[in-house]
Structure 1
Amino acid sequence: MKESGLTGGPPPFIYERAVTWGDTDPGYIVFTGRYLEYVVDAVEAWVTHTFGRNWFAMKLDEELGTPFRFANLDFIDQISPRDSLEIEIRVVDVGTTSLRFDIKGFALSKERGRRHCFNVDAMTVFLNTTTMKKTPIPPEYRQKLVEAGWLEAARV
């Protein structure tokens, strides 16, 4: 994973992964359901990078979860096992209990170059996993959002 310099707030977080044979259907394109799997993996990588803890540690150590409230996916181009995948994540809204993400997926291949393949508008909500009720973003996590530049860039 790396960060890339694009304009408009801090650079997006970039999550990279291979596209494998098992991700595809008989037409050699990625199964529809895999797109959201890729997005969930990318958001967890962003959480780990930004907060210094993965979802498993947050659940066990803090009784804190961040389930998706919604994820709207717009398909633009197909992805195949000849491609690798680059997913850009930006925080576009920070609420009292939620984070909203603008997520863009790009396929990379020698044959076709870098292609924009999907967009996702997604929101996660902070949740106390014991009570299963939403809870404010913990102050230490909000501070990490400030330090990373996401709070200033997002609509707060």
Structure 2
Amino acid sequence: MTTNAPICITARVRFGDCDPAGIVFTPRYGGFVFEAAETWLEAVMGLSVHQQLNKGEIGTPVRSLTTDLHRSLRPGDRFASTVYVEAIGRTSFRLLVIGRRGDGVLSFVGRMTCVTTDPSHRSAMPLSEMYQQRLTQYQADCGDIPAIA
């Protein structure tokens, strides 16, 4: 599968993402990370989360999701979430999502660890050969992960 690595998802902060003072609700940053990861999953693995669930062959539930906030986003701000594969394990992989405002200023950094599971037993299973190959290729295509200041 060919991708333009690293994948970068652009979005705009909506009114509903914010509190009455016009600052993005803290939990929305986790949503931004998840939304970027979902878009990445479909582009790199060729399956949406819904297709994974409907096929019943493999699942990639989130084991952990962290976000570090650097600079606030406000209603109407455009931002870009760039997705990297930070680590590949036997049964899991960790994505790094770097969010930058339209002016290039670092806004947030998210890390999301997904575990490959057998949906029928809800237990961890080793990454399939296809997952291993695509994760490794994407990681190589991205090159070095940029330093986060």
TM range (shorter): 0.7 to 0.9
**Aligned in 2, Cα 1:138/1:62: closer, same or farther, shift over 3 Å?**
farther
1:54-93, Cα deviation, whole Å (9 max, x unpaired): 1111111133211111122111010011311210111011
Counterpart in the other structure of 1:143 = 133
8 Å contact 1:106–1:118 — kept in the other structure?
yes
Q: Report the Cα distance in structure 1 between the residues aligned to 2:143 and 2:92, rounded to whole angstroms.
A: 15
Is residue 126 from structure 1 mapped to residue 120 from structure 2 by the alignment?
no
Q: Report the Cα distance in structure 2 between the residues aligned to 1:30 and 1:153, rounded to whole angstroms.
A: 31
| Aligned 1:1-150 pairs, distance under 5 A | 3=4, 11-108=5-102, 113-150=103-140
Q: Percent identity?
A: 26
1:120-152, Cα deviation, whole Å (9 max, x unpaired): 222111111110100111112222224434499
Q: Calculate the TM-score normalised by the size of structure 1.
A: 0.82
Deviation at 1:153, TM superposition (A): 6.0
8 Å contact 1:24–1:80 — kept in the other structure?
yes
Q: Report the Cα distance in structure 1 between the residues aligned to 2:49 and 2:132, rounded to whole angstroms.
A: 16
Counterpart in the other structure of 2:147 = none
8 Å contact 1:146–1:152 — kept in the other structure?
no
Counterpart in the other structure of 1:7 = none
- Flag structure 2 segments of 5+ consecutive residues without an equivalent: 145-149
8 Å contact 2:12–2:76 — kept in the other structure?
no
Higher strand share: 1
SS at match of 1:50: helix
Q: Report the Cα distance in structure 1 between the residues aligned to 2:123 and 2:70, rounded to whole angstroms.
A: 36
Number of residue pairs aligned between Structure 1 and Structure 2: 142
1:18-68, Cα deviation, whole Å (9 max, x unpaired): 211111111101111111111111101110010111111111113321111
Farther off after superposition, 29-38 or 59-68? 59-68
